[in-house]
Structure 1
Amino acid sequence: MYMSVTHQVKVTVEPTFEPDRSDPAEGRYFWRYDIEIANLGDSPVTILERHWQITDGEGRQQEVRGPGVVGEQPTIQPGESFRYASGCPLPTSSGMMVGEYGMLGANGERFQVAIPAFSLDSPHVRRTLN
């Protein structure tokens, strides 16, 4: 698991390689990632948007931006959390993702919350730590 805390919002990510949705012979690899966003503060926060930077195993990058997460712009009350799952296809057997959420505080202030960088590794490649 990967975790970061920004502005009293904790983001935890757990990526999982999905062999049933992958076809290494065709250069298709797929990961599911489960995310929990926990409000550690004392006032509600709303997820307005997301921004992802996705890098495949050959260093090619793509950016994804959009409103909310999984079609929602949830408000998370103090002491509560929001969980969702999504996925990422890549043409390589490894990669990484990192990003941020654009949030709105109860006072109308907008701020960014970091999504920790996490590794996408398949069992079809030997893992190398750099």
Structure 2
Amino acid sequence: MEVGVFEAPKIENYETGQLFLHKLFGYRGVILFPWTANVFDKNEDAAIEGSYEMKIANEELDRSGPPERTKAKKMTYYQVLIDNRDIPHIRTQPESVTFLGGPQSNRSVYSIHGLDYVSHNDVLPYSSSEKNPIVHDLFEKFLMYDPDTKPGFVARESLKAWQESNHPWLELSDVCVKTTNNIRVTVIPFYIGEDQRKKLYWWRYSIRIENLSNEPVTLRERHWRIFSQAGTFETVRGKGVVGQEPDLNSETPVFQYSSHVNLQAPSGHMWGTFKMEKEDGSFFEVRIPSFYLECKEEDKSSQ
């Protein structure tokens, strides 16, 4: 796979049009624009999280939700385009951004293929003399080659208009992280709209699972607990995730996927566990960090 000339990673934010290689998944991509995320490391405040997990274990549920979000760290994430040539070869579900579109009376879930969210630390920047170094339907629509600028591509007005009009379901605000037995789980929830006809609020959530050790494991089961502001409580169990039981080993330590959830209330929260199997046939549980499901204020005010 050819890329270009690698550059030194930057501390400051990257510009629109920056070409990069993903540090973990190895795909080629280009940065469209940044988001400032609140990153909550659920391992840092062990006392609060421990109390909450005890409630979970004893099923002492209330409507207060996960522990208060008081210790967030600000981190830059980027909206990026993935090179179509690399999608079949990366250890991730083909990434799509989804949203509810169409008339309020009959809304459907639409998707935009080949978009991802990448943290600043996962960007390996490079430059290229090619006018179209990334293969994606939106690359030429959003970016224009300009050899006199750095990084060599500038945003077209169509990108700015697209960002503004699609802001509600593109926006990334919270990132929740928890590590159990050297397995790190990162969750990013997105509110994608309301189906007023069915009186349902919809969210997409992206999950990354990383094996930080050299011991191979296989994800065998998922167990979700979903609590709605309306007072309903649901548990969901199943084999693997998105029809797969991914192996996490030294060669392929990371797996990422997205899924959806809906509630009959504008807010709620989710948490859960993954059941992992070791090579010797023994099992252990990995915590999925608790995270809020929240309706955007502008969506609620428009009703």
When normalised by structure 1's length, the TM-score is: 0.89
Q: Deviations over 1:38-75 (max 9, x none)?
A: 00011111000000000011221000000000000010
- In our comparison, the structure showing a higher alpha carbon Rg is 2
Q: Give the length in aligned residue pairs.
A: 124
Give the share of equivalent positions with the same residue, in percent.
38
**Over the residues paired in the alignment, what is the CA RMSD in angstroms?**
1.6
> Which residues of 2 match residues 1-130 of structure 1 at below 5 A?
1-19=175-193, 22-24=194-196, 26-78=198-250, 80-123=253-296, 124=299
For the residues of structure 2 that align with 1:125 and 1:105, how far apart are their CA atoms? 46
Indicate conservation of the 8 Å contact 2:230/2:264, yes or no. no
Structure with more relative contact order (C-alpha pairs < 8 Å, separation 6 or more): 1
Of Structure 1 and Structure 2, the greater strand share is in: 1
Of Structure 1 and Structure 2, the greater helix share is in: 2
Runs of 4+ in 1 over 6 A off after TM superposition: none
The AA in structure 1 aligned to 2:202 is F
Q: Please, which runs of 5 or more residues in structure 2 have no aligned partner?
A: 1-174
For the residues of structure 2 that align with 1:24 and 1:5, how far apart are their CA atoms? 38
The AA in structure 1 aligned to 2:269 is M
SS at match of 2:293: strand
For the residues of structure 2 that align with 1:43 and 1:115, how far apart are their CA atoms? 20
The AA in structure 1 aligned to 2:188 is E
Q: Please, which runs of 5 or more residues in structure 1 have no aligned partner?
A: none
The AA in structure 2 aligned to 1:83 is Q
For the residues of structure 1 that align with 2:273 and 2:217, how far apart are their CA atoms? 14
When normalised by structure 2's length, the TM-score is: 0.39
